[in-house]
Amino acid sequence: MGTLYNPSNAKIQLANLDPIRASLQTTLNELNSKKPIYKNAVSEREDAMASLGKLVTKVLNYAKSIDISAADKENIANQAKKIRGDQKAKKTNPETTEAIGISTSQMSYDSRIANLDVFIKQLGSHANYAPNESEIQVASLETLHGNLATLSTTVNTAGNALITARINRNNVLYNNDNNVIQLMRDVKSYLKSLGDSAKPYHSAMVKLKFIEKV
C-alpha cells in the first residue's frame, strides 16, 4: 500500500506489527516442533502398555493358584482391577487437546503404573508366588514397571512442553493487549476508513480469517 497505509494508531503501524508477526511465527514453530515429540512419546507408551491388561490377568490367575489366604487373593484381585481399569485411558490428540486433556491422560496412565508397582509388591510379599514362567516373575514385572514409568515420564515431560508452547501461542494470538485478533480488527477498520482508495486492500484483507478461539 506504500504511503497509503499510514495509521495514527501506533499499534497497527507496520514497524510495530512486524515484531508481533515474528513473535507469532516463533511461537508457532515452537508449538509445531513439540507436537511430534509428544505424539511419538504417547505412541511408544501406548504400545508398551497395550498388553498390560492381559499380563496382569495371567499374573492374577497364577496368584489364585498358590497357597495363600482368600483375603490375600482378594487383595491381589482388587489391585489387578485398578491396573486394568473399567475403561481404557483416552488417547490424547495434541492437535486439539488443551492442557486439561493432556493432564487427565497423564494421570490415568500414571495411576495405572503406580498401581502396578503396588501389585508387584503384593506379589513379592508372598514366598509362594514363584512362577516358572519368566514373564510373570517378580523380577520381570519390576523391569516392566521401570520401563513403563520411564516412558510415562517422557510423555509427561513432552506433554508439559506442549502445553507451554500452546499457551505461548495463545498469548500472542488472544491473551494480551496487543493480541493478533484485536490488531487485525483494528487494521480492517482503518482500511475501511480510507474509503475507495483502499477498497481493494480492504477487500483482500477481510478474506483473511483471524478467528478467536472459543
Going by C-alpha positions, the residue among 153, 138, 161 that lies closest to residue 44 is 153
Domain membership flag for residue 213 = no
Classify 87 as helix, strand or coil: coil
Domain membership flag for residue 91 = yes
Quick check: 14 pLDDT over 90? yes
Q: Looking at this protein, which amino acid is placed at residue 147?
A: N
pLDDT class for 69, splitting at 50, 70, 90? very high
Residue 122 belongs to domain spanning:
2-206
pLDDT digits (tens, 9 = 90+) for 174-199: 998 889 999 999 999 999 999 999 99
pLDDT class for 85, splitting at 50, 70, 90? confident
pLDDT class for 211, splitting at 50, 70, 90? confident
pLDDT digits (tens, 9 = 90+) for 122-160: 999 999 999 999 999 999 999 999 999 999 999 999 999
- 180, 172 contact by CB (below 8 A): yes
Sign of CA dihedral 107, 110, 115, 116: positive
Domain membership flag for residue 144 = yes
pLDDT at 214: 47
pLDDT at 213: 60
Domain membership flag for residue 212 = no
Sign of CA dihedral 139, 140, 142, 147: positive
Domain membership flag for residue 100 = yes
What the block records as the C-alpha cell of 39 is: 505424539
Domain membership flag for residue 214 = no
Instruction: Read off the pLDDT of each residue in 101-125 and give the average, rounded to a whole number.
Output: 86
Sign of CA dihedral 113, 115, 121, 123: negative
Give the number of domains in the chain: 1
% of the chain surpassing 90 pLDDT: 83
What the block records as the C-alpha cell of 160 is: 508439559
Domain membership flag for residue 145 = yes
Spatial distance between the Cα atoms of 180 and 17, rounded to a whole number of angstroms: 9
- 86, 150 contact by CB (below 8 A): no
What is the residue whose three cell numbers read 514497524? 15
Predicted TM-score (pTM) of this structure: 0.79
What DSSP state is assigned to residue 88? P
Domain membership flag for residue 199 = yes
